[in-house]
Amino acid sequence: MKRLLLGLILLSALPVNAASFVNGDFASGGSSWNNASDTGSVSFSGGEAVLQTGTGTSIYSAVMVQGDDGSFNFNNRFLLGNDIEFLHFDALFNRLGTDSSEAVTAGSFADALFVSLYDYQDITFAHDLLFDPQINSTVDGLLISYAFNVSSLQGREIALSFELLDDNDGYNSKVTLDNVRFAPVLPTGTVPTPSVLVLLFAGLPMIQRYSKQRAV
């Protein structure tokens, strides 16, 4: 308890150093984005970001973050405007060749993308958001525009993270991202946010992992 209170006091004493979210169209390549990948990779080409899994399995195979470097230092956190309601982005999932190092089991899941927003000002994790856009092998080769409600983080200093899970499905995968932006309105033609229950059950393992990291 003392450690938690001390952390809150230290955070409140730090000067505001948040910038604005930038380069969501990747026109400047990987500028302002950090690669926090494990076994996978992140690359930037032609105004797009590509997250790709690697050999073996990893919950955090390919991770791309703005606002943090992957260690919760929040080194380039950004401020979410008070009028922002939604996070939008376009994503294309592709299943790649087989990965012989993955031993497929009955409990295996398909590779999948998760999207997380972490609140710099709240180390209790109460304001952190985890979204499961359900991008996996069921949408192989299909470009989809997504929108998620982020209004609970209005006025907060945050980090945004795209996290590609490499599960034991016997395949490698990649997700191509473009047009990442925050906006006050929901455009037509976007996929609505998944249900709260879907997000809860899909996100529990990741919430547990990041909670442990942030508590260190």
Helix (H) or strand (E) holding 214, with range, is helix 196-215
The ranges assigned to domains in the chain are: 17-215
What is residue 193's predicted lDDT score, i.e. its pLDDT?
A: 53
CATH number, domain 17-215: 2.60.120.260
| CA torsion, ordered 68, 69, 72, 77, to nearest 10 deg | -20
Helix (H) or strand (E) holding 15, with range, is none
User: At 123, is the secondary structure helix, strand, or coil?
Assistant: coil
Confidence of residue 5 (pLDDT cuts 50, 70, 90): very low
Provide the 8-state DSSP code for 111: -
Contacts (Cβ under 8 Å, ≥6 apart) of 13? none
Q: How far is CA 71 from CA 31, 74, 135, 139, in A?
A: 18, 8, 25, 31
**Beta strand spans in 37-111 (E):** 41-45, 48-52, 58-66, 78-79, 86-98
Residue identified by tokens 């003392």 is 2
How far is the first Cα of the chain from the last one, in angstroms, to the nearest whole number? 13
Query: Does 109 or 47 have the greater pLDDT score?
Result: 47
Whose CA is closest to 156, among 85, 78, 211? 78
pLDDT in tens, 109-149: 888 999 999 999 887 888 899 999 988 878 899 898 999 99
What is residue 98's predicted lDDT score, i.e. its pLDDT?
A: 87
What is residue 7's predicted lDDT score, i.e. its pLDDT?
A: 42
What is residue 90's predicted lDDT score, i.e. its pLDDT?
A: 94
In angstroms, the CA 190 to CA 144 distance is 8
What is residue 190's predicted lDDT score, i.e. its pLDDT?
A: 60
What is residue 13's predicted lDDT score, i.e. its pLDDT?
A: 41
Q: Rounded mean pLDDT of 174-186?
A: 93
What is residue 60's predicted lDDT score, i.e. its pLDDT?
A: 92
Q: Rounded mean pLDDT of 160-184?
A: 92
Name, of 63-72, 167-176, 185-194, the range with top average pLDDT: 63-72
Query: Does 17 or 65 have the greater pLDDT score?
Result: 65
In angstroms, the CA 95 to CA 175 distance is 9
Strand partners, 44: 49
Query: Does 207 or 148 have the greater pLDDT score?
Result: 148
Mean pLDDT over each residue of the chain, to the nearest integer = 81
Q: Rounded mean pLDDT of 21-29?
A: 96
Q: What are φ and ψ of residue 128, in 5° steps?
A: -60, 140
Burial of 120 (0-12, 13-18, 19+ CB in 10 A): buried
Contacts (Cβ under 8 Å, ≥6 apart) of 60? 36, 37, 38, 163, 165, 209
